[in-house]
Structure 1
Amino acid sequence: MTSMNAATSGPGKTDLQRPDGSPVRVLVVDDEETLAELVSMALRMEGWEIRSAGNGTDAVRIARDFRPDAVVLDVMLPDFSGLEVLSRLRAEVPHLPVLFLTARDAVEDRIAGLTAGGDDYVTKPFSLEEVVLRLRALLRRSHAVSSSMGSTLVVGDLTLDEDSREVHRGGEPVSLTATEFELLRFLMRNPKRVLSKAQILDRVWSYDFGGQANIVELYISYLRKKIDAGREPMIHTMRGAGYVLKPAT
């Protein structure tokens, strides 16, 4: 399994919510306790409400009470398979979006999951960011949730359109590389929250660079030159803690 650093800060402001305005609900099902907790924490950072289960029996029981909007489901479980869990869940909620997790890379395993009714899958090892992005896409397609902010993130006079990938500061366009865009998107999804280098490495680069955490400093400096140059700064360094993006005062 690729090393994945878990975020430990509280939930951020989400742009997806249930029609009644309450947080999106996701059920995470995996018998690897550490992995389930990592995925759960990454989803909580989206502002979503999360429950987890370590086997199929608990998954079906929890789903009946919790009524999730989507399920992250491991194919291999200790009591019965994720395909059986899917069958039981869909018997009660026919269009429930399901994202499969699988350690197996064979094409027939992927086909089996999708044929059984799974909406999408990720193969272990995977990045937490990939799981979040795929879930967001499934939720939007399901129409079980609504978007309160569309695809545009706004912090102060800084805007980022996740669909067109356009960024503006004070109405002026800002040209970013793909990595700079992902870094800024992560910062803007978590405004006024201090993000550690470990959190940024995991969410932007998808794995642990070990002693090379200075790559975060490098890309923060790139962003500052494009976002803050000649303007009131928005990206701040919190010594010993990480970085935070705040509206200019």
Structure 2
Amino acid sequence: MELSKTSKTDRVGTLDQDITRIRQQLDIIKKFLTAEPSPASLNEFDSTTEDILADAFGSSSPLLDTYDYAQLGEAAGLMNLPEGAPEGTTHQSQRETVRQRQRVLESGIADLEARRASLAQESRKRKDAGPNVADYMAKTVRSVSLDTTLREVGQCLQKWKIGSVLIQSGDEYLGYITETELTREVVASGTDPVTTTVKTCMREPLVTIETSDSIVEAVRLMKEKATRYLAVTESNRIVGVVSVSDIIRYYSGVK
């Protein structure tokens, strides 16, 4: 299973970095408005800016198209100069296209700042919803490989005194198996625990929740996905497991 969630802290940090990079480009534009840049300097600036915008908004973002129009505006201005245009008109046309670039970047910053404010508001709402899963999760992540037999899994659960274990293949977590499912598979279905591996009966996909999410969100997700266990992620990495037992511990007032 490939983890797709990124913590809100990481997302805010990324937005801050994108905003800073675009502001740096705006500082360069201000210099261009004071002193006319050479064509080579402007081309280098445009190339760097396009890379920054693609990183921040995606390569198919309309903002990139808008920035392209700002550059084309410079070419159009030069081509539309009347015959015998007075000296300095070309410079004024270039200044206008530089201003167009400036307005596009300012628009991009406004968009990113709005996203950052939205994330901050969402974080405040989650904080108001009560403690987060990081406060109640099991911080030790236990796992076994795909080729582990059911008997070996049972021994691990008993040794570690836990009710479930994650199934891992290399660096990737694929699913999990619980003590209840293990018992059902062996006793009710008559599966041979010595020769059968967890690959044949593990539950997948692995349902994840972020460390910053609330206990209320964990309950909602467990109900929605019909699971008693959630893998807890931070920075796109599994750092713990929260179970129904942990939720009950919270509502029972036990820390």
> By the TM > 0.5 criterion, same fold?
no
Specify which structure has the bigger relative contact order, considering alpha-carbon pairs within 8 angstroms and separated by 6 or more residues. 2
More helix by share: 2
TM-score (ref. length: structure 1): 0.26
Structure exhibiting the larger radius of gyration computed from Cα positions: 2
